[in-house]
């Protein structure tokens, strides 16, 4: 076990729930900034050629736009995690910059390729270094239009609106993805490592409100877990208890509980909704031991019940779902009344 620096301990003890420290690895962040720009240039170039030479225009264009945004987002997410960025604002700022580079370069490449038809075509470098000429050409394209959709040729404000949606997707999707990615895991300040997630058990939802469960767990009362029952296989509603902690030391250890509800939609397909009940409650080493013991208590009770041939399980499940539906309906009524 590594002895963590005092700064990390005081930071950890300052809150009940884990929060990012706001720190980052300066050297790696600089590399991420450069690498992110390169990825944006490559994505922008490829995107420009696909859009320019695609034989059809329509929804497929937006799917390609979304895919390009997703490609940039997933690269930025990986880079920022590698750079150990625990500062969401910084991560989003770098991503926004990469998104802007992608949009700008896709236009430069698009116009560069269009200009290859003229007598003395410019080089790509000419296009990159002549933003004013590029802007004039863009205004010209907007005035006359370039492509048609269902025999209509979008120009003017309508074309600006399409371009705005396109840019919003190319920048917005990476931002959405990176925000999600940076919030995915806790970070151990002592070991400079991202935490790993270890699912412990699936529980039947408890007969207490979410607030009650959170309150008891916050005061380190793990009997709330020990008194629960393990969810039988194929449950339609259950709470997954997991630990999210450092793979190398026991300084950073957190408890997460997520509620999963499976519902069938009108087409008969199953849909899974996952909502956090408890998100990264900080655990001291002795809390982790108490938690693990509470979980093994539930598991052994479940095994005993299974051996005794507990047939009540299915009825309980149906009753729990019924209760959930009623409480959701009541909540909906309450909110509409308010
Ligand atoms: Zn650690």
Q: Which residues, 6+ apart, have CB-to-CB distance to 109 below 8 Å?
A: 44, 45, 48, 49, 124, 127
| Ligand 1 centroid to residue 179 C-alpha, Å | 23
Q: Given a cut of 50, is residue 12 above it in pLDDT?
A: no
pLDDT at 316: 56
Question: Computed from CA positions of residues 77, 81, 83, 84, in that sequence, does the dihedral angle turn out positive or negative?
Answer: positive
Q: How far apart are the first and last CA of the chain?
A: 53
**CA–CA separation, 279 vs 281, rounded Å?**
6
The pair of three-digit structure tokens given for residue 38, joined into one six-digit string? 């390169």
Q: Give 289 Cα–ligand 1 centroid separation in angstroms.
A: 17
CA 334 to chain centre: 30
Distance 190 CA to ligand 1 centre (A): 5
> Ligand 1: distance of its center to the CA of 77 in Å?
22
Read off the pLDDT of residues 124-142 as tens digits, 9 standing for 90 and up.
Answer: 998 899 899 999 999 989 8
Q: Is 280 left (phi over 0), alpha (psi -120 to 50) or beta?
A: left
pLDDT for position 314: 53
Please report which confidence band the pLDDT of residue 320 belongs to, taking 50, 70 and 90 as the band edges: low
pLDDT at 289 over 80: yes
Is residue 270 over pLDDT 70?
yes
| Ligand 1 mean position, distance from CA 316 (Å) | 41
d(CA 297, CA 302): 9
CA 193 / ligand 1 centre spacing (Å): 7
User: What is the rounded CA–CA span in Å between residue 85 and residue 91?
Assistant: 7
pLDDT given for residue 9 in this prediction: 42
**How far apart are alpha carbons 283 and 256 in whole angstroms?**
11
Indicate if the pLDDT at residue 114 is higher than 70: yes
- Over residues 131-159, the mean pLDDT reads 83
Tell me how far the alpha carbon of residue 149 lies from the centroid of ligand 1, in angstroms. 56
Distance 12 CA to ligand 1 centre (A): 12
Query: How many angstroms does the Cα of residue 14 sit away from the middle of ligand 1?
Result: 17
Q: Facing residues of 312 across strands?
A: none
pLDDT bucket at 302, cuts 50 / 70 / 90:
confident
For residue 215, the CA-to-ligand 1 centroid distance in Å is 27
What is the rounded distance in angstroms from the CA atom of residue 31 to the CA atom of residue 38?
11
Identify the pLDDT of residue 310: 54
pLDDT above 60 for 315: no
Q: Which residue has the tokens 């600089």?
A: 30
Most confident of 2-16, 33-47, 265-279, 296-310: 33-47
C-alpha 284 to ligand 1 mean position (Å):
13
Phi and psi at 200, nearest 5°, equal -100, -50
Q: What is the rounded CA–CA span in Å between residue 69 and residue 91?
A: 16
- Arithmetic mean of pLDDT over the chain: 86
Q: 271-281: buried (b, 16+ CB within 10 Å) or exposed (e) per residue? A: eeeeeebbebb
If you measure from the C-alpha of residue 63 to the centroid of ligand 1, how many angstroms do you get, rounded to a whole number?
Answer: 41
At residue 1, the pLDDT reads 43
30 CA to centre of ligand 1 in angstroms: 24
Q: For the chain, give every domain's residue range.
A: 13-182, 195-337
């Amino acid at each position: 076990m590594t002895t963590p620096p005092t700064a990390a301990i005081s930071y950890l003890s300052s809150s009940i729930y884990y929060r990012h420290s706001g720190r980052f690895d300066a050297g790696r962040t600089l590399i991420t900034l450069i690498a992110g720009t390169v990825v944006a240039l490559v994505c922008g170039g490829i995107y420009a050629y696909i859009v320019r030479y695609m034989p059809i225009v329509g929804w497929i264009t937006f799917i390609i736009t979304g895919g390009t945004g997703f490609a940039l987002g997933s690269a930025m997410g990986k880079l920022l995690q590698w750079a150990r960025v625990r500062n969401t604002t910084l991560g989003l700022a770098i991503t926004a910059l990469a998104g802007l580079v992608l949009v700008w370069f896709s236009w430069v490449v698009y116009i560069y390729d269009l200009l290859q038809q003229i007598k003395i075509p410019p080089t790509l470098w000419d296009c990159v270094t002549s933003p004013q000429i590029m802007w004039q050409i863009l205004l010209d394209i907007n005035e006359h239009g370039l492509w048609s959709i269902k025999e209509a040729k979008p120009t003017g404000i309508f074309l600006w609106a399409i371009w705005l949606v396109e840019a919003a997707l190319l920048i917005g999707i990476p931002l959405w993805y990176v925000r999600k990615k940076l919030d995915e895991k806790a970070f151990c300040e002592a070991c400079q490592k991202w935490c790993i997630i270890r699912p412990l058990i699936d529980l039947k939802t408890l007969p207490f409100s979410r607030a009650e469960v959170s309150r008891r767990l916050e005061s380190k009362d793990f009997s709330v877990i020990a008194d629960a029952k393990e969810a039988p296989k194929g449950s339609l509603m259950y709470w997954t208890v997991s630990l999210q902690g450092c793979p190398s030391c026991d300084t950073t250890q957190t408890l997460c509980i997520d509620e999963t509800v499976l519902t069938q939609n009108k087409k008969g397909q199953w849909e899974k909704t996952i909502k956090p009940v408890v998100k990264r409650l900080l655990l001291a080493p002795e809390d982790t031991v108490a938690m693990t013991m509470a979980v093994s208590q539930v598991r052994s009770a479940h095994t005993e019940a299974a051996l005794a041939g507990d047939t009540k399980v299915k009825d309980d499940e149906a009753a729990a779902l019924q209760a959930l539906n009623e409480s959701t309906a009541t909540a909906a009524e309450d909110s509409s009344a308010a």
